Amino acid sequence: MKQLKINILSSIIATALLSGACSLDLEPIDEISDNKAFETVEDLEKGMTGVMTEFGSHNIVGMSDWASDDLRYSLANTGQGVQVHNWTYNSSTGDLAGTWNEQATLVDRANRIMAIAARFDQEDKTVQRVIAETKVTRAYGHFNIVRMYCKNYSANDPLGIPYKFESGISSPSRLTQGEVYQNIIADINAAIPELSIMREGNYWITQSTAYALKARVAQYMQDWDMAITAANEAIDLGGYRLATRDEYRDVWDDAIANNVEVIFRLRRENSGIGNYYTRATNGDIFFHPSYDLMNQYTYDDIRGLTFFGLDEKGQDVVTKHDGRPNDKTNVNDVKVFRVSELVLIKAEAYAQKAQLDKVADELNYLRNHRLVSPDALEFTNQQEAIQAVRDERRRELAYEGHRFYDLKRWALGIERLTEDSETTSRTLEAGDYRFVFPVPQSEIFANKNMVQNDGYSN
């Protein structure tokens, strides 16, 4: 009897204590947990598609324009970009945190998908392609931050940026610029063989995208041979060509054939770059195009005719990113890499290498697609060629996130015209510390290893 009691007792205790012990791993019902989300290669592709949604607002474009000599402050401006335009920014300037936060997030998302892809069959072509796409994405995200928050390329400059190879909580330190560029190039090189040559709509990362990025990186490193090779690969692989003068407006209306002009663009449905210049809801102008920039174009230049317009009150307004026809105002796809940028990279490379005929060839090729029967250029000295490339680059790539970083690259200052700076700052000397944007205060606060750029108090 006693034994029976003990038996019953112990079984009661055992049942009681162990019941439900293993039921604590509850999966969410309304969202997908990490291990359930990625079960098939198709899921992995969806993960990469998710990464494509994280490329961000391309704040890098807006900051370049606000800070450069391509815009003129509008009276209707209620504070948009005023600190950036007047170079009165500091580490708390919210606008300047945009790229840092968005592109670091992009790097993180790419790293997450890369880690997830490692769980799949590494021989699978799609898996290999997704991994390659994440690598290019990662390189792209890092490079955007370098462009804004670092000085001109110098391998030993200790104030590079962190390079994240995997997702996770850490307090990453700044590497030397050399290390950062090395990692960027390594990621691109590793990715290229596995990428698609061409994908529908240029909305996805292809070999041409990777080479275009490589060309741009090489330009920043002043590795002119690498720049020329990569630019040629980018154009040739996808069979890309420049848009003609007649096609040029269609480029900005997002109505252009697959192999014309645009190598890589980001699909945008709800918000676009146009909001850096005007308010979508009521057309209020934050910034007009500067007289300085408008003066750069001849009357027959399709670019001036496409980039500038007048609003209903007759005021000058930037129309480059003002939206697709019959669609939302200020919403366009973000054109990340275009053939003309690669042509200009080559031109700049040849100019630096003093191959003056080749400079002329590249520039004439471009100008023939933009002007009505332009005179062919010829150069007699290197300085002339360099200047011509710079002018052409300003005209072609205005409002695409290059001007301010180009001026920094070329070690030039900013001198706004008097009529472009009646109520705003006029001059930023060449080499001023403010050509390098401050690391956001939130990053300094949260990351104990983060070092601020020179000239900024914290």
Partner 1 sequence: MKKITHLLLFFLCCSIGLIHAQTKQIKGIVTAREDGLSIPGVSVIVKGTTIGTITQINGAYTLGVPADANTLVFSFVGMETQEIDMDGRTEINVVLETESIGMDEVVVTAYGSKGKVGLRGAISTVSAEELEQVPVATFDQMLQGKAAGLHITTGSGQPGSGNTKVRIRGNGSIMASNDPLYVVDGVPIEPGVFASLNANDFENVAVLKDASSTAIYGSRASNGVVLITTKRGKKGDTKVNYRHQSGLSFKTREKFDMMNTAEKLWFEEIAQKGPGWEFSPLNPLYSTLSPDARSAQDAELARLRGIDTNWQDHIFRTGKTMSNEINMSGGNEKTRFYLSYQNYYQEGLSDRSDINRNTGRLNLDHQVSDKIKLGVITSIGQSKINAIESEGGIALNNPFAAVYLANPWENPYDENGNLNPGSYKYNNPYLSEEENKRYAAYNNTGANVLDLMSNSTRKKEETKFVGAFNISWDILPYLTAKSQYGIDYRHSLYERWVSPDAWASISAGEGDAHRDGSISEDFERRIESTFANTLDFKKMFGDRHLLSAVLGSEYVKRDYFGFGYTGYGLEPKLPETPAAITPGTDTNDYIASVNGYKAERAMFSLFSLFNYTYNERYTLSASLRRDGSSAFGENNKYGIFYSLGLTYDITREEFMASLEWLNNLKFRISYGTNGNQAGLGHYEHLTLWQNSSYATQPGYSLAQTGDPNIKWEVANKFNVGFDFNVLANRLNGTIDFYNDITSDLFISQTFSAWDGVIGNSKTTNAGKVLNRGIELMLNYDLIRMNDLRWSIGTTLSYNKNEILDLGQVNEFELGTSIVREGLPIGTHYLVRWAGVNPATGDAMYYTANGAITNKYSADDNVADFGTSEPPFYGGFNTSLSYKGFELNADFAFANGFSRFNNQRFFQENPNFAQFNQSTAMLDVWRQPGDLTEIPGVHSQREFSSKDIEDASYLRFRNLTLAYNFSKPILNRLKVIKGLRLYAQGQNLFTWTKWTGFDPEDSNNIAQYEYPTPRTVSIGLDVNF
* Positions in the binding site for partner 1 (CB under 8 A): 5, 8-9, 12-13, 15-21, 23-26, 28-34, 37-38, 43, 46-54, 100-101, 104-105, 107-109, 111-112, 162, 164, 167-172, 201, 203-204, 267, 440, 442-443, 445-447, 450
CB of 203 to partner 1, least distance (A): 4
CB of 428 to partner 1, least distance (A): 26
Alpha-carbon distance 10 to 266, whole Å?
66
Q: Tokens 């003066």 belong to which residue?
A: 295
Return the number of the residue (167 or 352) whose C-beta is nearest partner 1: 167
Is residue 37 packed enough to be buried (19+ CB in 10 Å), middle (13-18) or exposed (0-12)? middle
Return the number of the residue (21 or 75) whose C-beta is nearest partner 1: 21
Backbone Cα Rg of the chain? 26
Residues in the chain, total: 458
Return the number of the residue (8 or 372) whose C-beta is nearest partner 1: 8
Return the number of the residue (13 or 310) whose C-beta is nearest partner 1: 13
Is residue 428 within 8 A of residue 434, CB to CB? The reply is yes
CB of 200 to partner 1, least distance (A): 8
CB of 26 to partner 1, least distance (A): 4
CB of 155 to partner 1, least distance (A): 22
Is residue 115 within 8 A of residue 134, CB to CB? The reply is no
Q: Tokens 């007759």 belong to which residue?
A: 314
CB of 220 to partner 1, least distance (A): 21
Which ranges of 247-399 would DSSP assign to H, the alpha helix? 248-252, 291-294, 302-307, 339-352, 356-368, 382-397
Which ranges of 222-333 would DSSP assign to H, the alpha helix? 224-237, 248-252, 291-294, 302-307
Tell me the three state secondary structure of residue 414: strand
Return the number of the residue (134 or 355) whose C-beta is nearest partner 1: 134
Alpha-carbon distance 113 to 433, whole Å?
37
Is residue 312 within 8 A of residue 213, CB to CB? The reply is no
CB of 235 to partner 1, least distance (A): 23
Is residue 403 within 8 A of residue 397, CB to CB? The reply is yes
Alpha-carbon distance 348 to 342, whole Å?
10
CB of 439 to partner 1, least distance (A): 10
First to last CA, the chain: 79
Return the number of the residue (113 or 398) whose C-beta is nearest partner 1: 113
Is residue 205 within 8 A of residue 137, CB to CB? The reply is yes
Which ranges of 197-297 would DSSP assign to H, the alpha helix? 207-221, 224-237, 248-252, 291-294
Return the number of the residue (19 or 282) whose C-beta is nearest partner 1: 19
Return the number of the residue (167 or 229) whose C-beta is nearest partner 1: 167
